[in-house]
Structure 1
């Protein structure tokens, strides 16, 4: 999948994240067909003086008011359970062959380079776009290979879509072909919500390096302002 590379932080204008529009889409097939970039929205950007290497958002989105089942099968209130922490939020599904495991795996490696005290201040949350197949147990097994502290949420797809839409993240119904391969089209970006206001301030596209994640996660854990 094409990645967005930058040498300086960027300020992404609000026009880039209009309702129903996704900056980048991932069409993942469990048959291993690969990920296709449907094209990023055209946006205007300007330099930012932020220390962060991720894309700095000019419009800060509210953390979704979302309650689904966690990997133990119990209700998980995203806002309540992550209060006071920086949250990295990603929408995807476990049978995705490429962008989902790559993104979550890279975040997991970056998290492993932080101290326990720093990791305690962060929450990585994965919301399934294929809840019919991503049961709590399936989701837990998959996430454990990336990070045992990662939070998995699964449940009503209508709720997932409703939570993703205001963030500019498109989530479509999974499609199963005649051979049983699942394709789920979903936004491939990671949003970082900061605890000061529980809003998204940073965005990371597919292909973001482990080093960028490590650098920014350390700043977040240490309370560095965007």
Structure 2
């Protein structure tokens, strides 16, 4: 990662981030940490916009992907999750995919949707490509060193924990469940799609977000 001062973004209480423990025995959306003042709004506007994570990773084609360079000037959605997640991750990405398909083709082509794995040991480029291929082939999967990804997530106030194997053999990954949405006007993250945001919520919000407008 390039060296830079990590921003201390002042999120409103309404935009407080939660961690989600994804695993077959926890119901999928059980919070791994209690958060006061969690938002009831599916799409939240931040009081203080955040810089996008300064990450250079490997994409689902096995090529180097400089996040800041590749997304500059483009509306960008970023989600940290993993392909073996049984519920929250596939549902979130499917909801986004439904909304993206409603956009005109030119806007779909301009939009960057990034799925950054929190489980890079299992999420190889080929695994990401296969998984995202069943959702939207234009979405980009990114993998790399876990500590690098974790630091990038923390720079945008998203917590992720290294996957752990339980006694019954299940592997659980704990990660923030929000979709980070950046404006093409200033390349900064202005909005969060919260965990309970639906396909309809994204369908309503995306046409404005891709123009850098508040939904």
TM-score (norm. length: structure 1): 0.83
State the distance in 1 between where 2:212 and 2:153 align: 27
> Would you say 1:14 and 2:11 are equivalent positions?
yes
- Paired residues for 1:36-51 under 5 Å: 36-39=30-33, 41-43=35-37
Report what 1:5 is aligned to: none
Q: Which runs of 5+ in 2 are unaligned?
A: 1-8
Residues 80 and 17 of structure 1, relative CA distance in 2, 3 Å threshold: farther
Q: Matches of 2:194 and 2:54 in 1, distance apart?
A: 23
- 2:19·2:176 contact (CA, 8 Å) conserved in 1? yes
- Residues 68 and 59 of structure 1: CA distance in aligned 2, closer, same or farther (over 3 Å): same
1:175 aligns with 2:164: yes
CA contact (8 A) 2:14 2:38 kept: no
The whole-number CA distance in structure 2 between the counterparts of 1:17 and 1:198 is 23
Secondary structure of 2:90's counterpart equals helix
Residues 44-193 of structure 1 mapped to structure 2, 5 A cutoff: 54-193=43-182
Question: What SS does the aligned partner of 2:51 have?
Answer: coil
Distance 2:82 2:37 in 1: 28
Aligned CA distance change for structure 1 residues 40 and 110 (closer, same or farther; 3 Å): farther
* CA–CA separation in structure 1 for the residues paired with 2:162 and 2:18: 17
User: How far apart are the structure 1 equivalents of 2:209 and 2:194?
Assistant: 18
> C-alpha displacement at 1:207, in angstroms?
1.8
Deviating more after overlay: 191-200 vs 124-133: 191-200
User: Which residue does the alignment assign to 2:22?
Assistant: 28
TM-score, with length taken from structure 2 = 0.87
- Give RMSD over aligned pairs: 2.3
Does the alignment pair 1:204 with 2:193? yes
Aligned length: 204
Once the two structures are TM-superposed, the CA of residue 212 in structure 1 deviates from its matched residue by: 1.1
Residues in 1 aligned to 2:106 and 2:63: alpha-carbon distance in whole angstroms:
26
Tell me what 1:9 maps to. Answer: none
Moved segments of 4+, more than 2 Å: 12-18, 31-34, 38-45, 177-180
1:74: Cα distance to partner? Answer: 1.1
How many angstroms apart in 2 are the aligned matches of 1:67 and 1:14? 26
Rounded to whole Å, the distance in 2 between the matches of 1:44 and 1:128 is: 24
